[in-house]
Amino acid sequence: MYNPFMSKCKSFEPSVNLNSKILILGSMPGVKSLEKQQYYAHPQNRFWKLMGVICNTQNLGEADYQFKLKILLEHNIALWDTIKCCSRKGSLDSNILNEIPNDIKALLKKYPNIQKVCLNGNKSYSSFKKYFPDLLEKYNCLKLPSTSPANARYSLEKLIDEWSVIKE
């Protein structure tokens, strides 16, 4: 079980299959997600509401976690994190220290249909750029605004406008 007072964080396994064409990368799951062992588990994170709109699936935010992952995979969307492990107090990306990246190159090699990489927020993008600069050239990489509740300047409507590019 995750202890919120410990500062060692480890990301989850990717949700991906051979049909995946889009890879969404977060930075590192927050405290609530680590506790529940689910991507974007904080009730105020807008990720699942946003994906519900993008995948044309009503009430995805309230759905069972396995159903949420299934819907993404049915829409050829894979989900993972840029960072494999790090030290962090709390959930803020700005508190991440000693990060070690996930092996994104190996994932992309194993799943060759992935053509677009969407980076959920500044930390995901900066880590991706730091560890995988060559992939920025090789893939269609999109830096997108974070769905985190800490990114309060973006309303859900504004996030939908920005993130709708993943369908193109």
Catalytic residues: 45
Beta-bridge mates of residue 15: 79
3 state DSSP class of 116: strand
Return the closest-CA partner of residue 127 out of 81, 68, 76: 81
Region of 45 (left: φ > 0; alpha: ψ -120 to 50; beta: rest) is: beta
In this structure, what DSSP letter does residue 52 have?
Answer: H
Q: Report CA 56 to chain centroid distance, whole Å.
A: 19
Q: Which contiguous run of DSSP H or E holds residue 73? A: helix 65-74
Beta-bridge mates of residue 83: 101
Between strands 116-120 and 140-144, the pairing is parallel
